[in-house]
């Protein structure tokens, strides 16, 4: 099969979660330069929770994201910088500032059932001349019919592409295929997929998405991202080449930026541990992992218990404060059992 695939690298955005939002300007410049030289067309740069995410609730950035966007754009001769915007975290002014700093694409992210909150942001992106994307997060939490309904809203607002976003790394390959095919049948815009590796299925799911018709596919170098990370960009490049998809990516250069740049500043290898496995199994938002670890230590409880309960409660992004509430309740119940 010969078909064009647009690989979008999210190392400098999703990887911000794993880095505790502490990317330096020099790190961003090195990664941006390497991605540009490898042939990547789009890569994302913002706080892990998108424009405006630097805050007490989500974690403060070490360096202002506008400075990082500008630095990344300066390193590009052909690649273009994308930004993430979650309505309610980022505002229209943030997007205007990002465009001035050099962003050429905006991905407006909402919960799977809340695409209607993104209308003004998608429309602003179009007004600013940006490539606009609708990002439907936690895609495992709604039916295929609901997914199609919400994707059509994004398309009606002017989105050039709509993504199935497996924020929890909970989808199985057949579920990805079903969702992508449904969007392919019902929409006229581009279709994308963003995966997480909490069940060790990120590459399988990404390949399933490509085979079902998605042409925009996300990855991160060395899997650097929330939870157990994302589909590994350099592995994607190799696998897609084996399948004869056209990505425009040079394999050795993309491997070099992963091994010689990203690997050297990663705080830890991205691996599937008990906590991230529970996240995928229970359908928990991948960026909750570090918060759950901190809460578990503070209250002296098992972080897996926290994550399991968050899955039962169907917690979504923006409810980080619930993590500590759940940990406290588990701790109190544990003390009560001990006393009795």
To the question of whether residue 194 is assigned a binding role by annotation, the answer is yes
CA dihedral (238, 242, 248, 251) in degrees, to 10, reads: 30
Helix or strand (DSSP H, E) at 220: none
Write the CB contacts of 191 (distance below 8 Å, at least 6 apart in sequence).
Answer: 161, 162, 163, 164, 180, 183, 184, 213, 214, 215, 216
Burial of 68 (0-12, 13-18, 19+ CB in 10 A): buried
To the question of whether residue 268 is assigned a binding role by annotation, the answer is no
To the question of whether residue 302 is assigned a binding role by annotation, the answer is no
- In the block, tokens 């001990």 appear at 338
Cβ 179 vs Cβ 194: under 8 Å: no
To the question of whether residue 157 is assigned a binding role by annotation, the answer is no
17, 21, 47, 140: the catalytic one is 17
Cβ 140 vs Cβ 115: under 8 Å: no
Write the CB contacts of 99 (distance below 8 Å, at least 6 apart in sequence).
Answer: 128, 129, 130
User: 321 to each of 259, 292, 310, how far by Cα in Å?
Assistant: 36, 10, 11
Sign of the alpha-carbon torsion through 26, 31, 34, 39: negative
Shortest CA distance to 43 belongs to which of 131, 158, 146? 131
To the question of whether residue 167 is assigned a binding role by annotation, the answer is yes
To the question of whether residue 287 is assigned a binding role by annotation, the answer is no
Active site residue 47: no
DSSP label at 63?
A: S
What is the C-alpha separation between 41 and 228, in angstroms, rounded? 25
Write the CB contacts of 309 (distance below 8 Å, at least 6 apart in sequence).
Answer: 326, 330
Instruction: Mark residue 189 as left, alpha or beta (left: phi above 0; alpha: psi -120 to 50; beta: remaining).
Output: beta
Could you tell me which residues are annotated as the binding site for substrate? Answer: 13-14, 167, 194, 285
Could you tell me which residues are annotated as the binding site for Mn(2+)? Answer: 14, 194, 196
Could you tell me which residues are annotated as the binding site? Answer: 13-14, 167, 194, 196, 285
Tell me which residues are annotated as active site: 17
């Amino acid at each position: 099969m010969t078909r064009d695939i647009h690989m979008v690298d999210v190392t400098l955005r999703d990887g911000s979660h794993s880095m505790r939002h502490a990317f330096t300007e020099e790190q961003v410049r090195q990664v941006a330069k390497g991605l540009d030289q490898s042939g990547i067309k789009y890569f994302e740069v913002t706080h892990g929770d998108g424009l405006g995410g630097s805050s007490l609730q989500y974690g403060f950035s070490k360096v202002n994201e506008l400075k990082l966007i500008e630095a990344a754009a300066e390193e590009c001769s052909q690649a273009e910088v994308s930004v993430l915007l979650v309505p309610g975290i980022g505002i229209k002014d943030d997007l205007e500032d990002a465009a001035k700093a050099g962003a050429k694409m905006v991905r407006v992210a909402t919960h799977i059932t809340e695409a209607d909150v993104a209308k003004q942001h998608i429309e602003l992106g179009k007004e600013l001349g940006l490539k606009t994307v609708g990002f439907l997060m936690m895609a495992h939490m709604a039916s295929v019919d609901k997914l199609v309904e919400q994707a059509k809203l994004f398309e009606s607002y002017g989105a050039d592409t709509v993504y199935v976003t497996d924020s929890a790394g909970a989808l199985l390959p057949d579920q990805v295929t079903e969702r992508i095919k449904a969007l392919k049948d019902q929409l006229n815009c581009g279709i994308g997929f963003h995966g997480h590796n909490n069940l060790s299925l990120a590459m399988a799911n990404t390949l399933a998405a490509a085979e079902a018709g998605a042409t925009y596919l996300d990855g991160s170098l060395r899997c650097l991202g929330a939870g157990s990370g994302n589909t590994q960009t350099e592995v994607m490049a190799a696998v897609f080449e084996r399948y004869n998809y056209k990505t425009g990516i040079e394999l050795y250069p993309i491997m070099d930026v992963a091994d010689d740049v990203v690997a050297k500043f990663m705080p830890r290898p991205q691996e599937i541990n008990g906590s991230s496995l529970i996240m995928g199994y229970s359908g928990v938002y991948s960026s909750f992992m570090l918060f759950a670890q901190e809460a578990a230590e503070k209250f002296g409880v098992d972080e897996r218990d926290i994550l399991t309960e968050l899955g039962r409660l169907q917690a979504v992004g923006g409810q980080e404060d619930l993590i500590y509430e759940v940990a406290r309740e588990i701790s109190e119940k544990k003390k009560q059992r001990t006393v009795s």
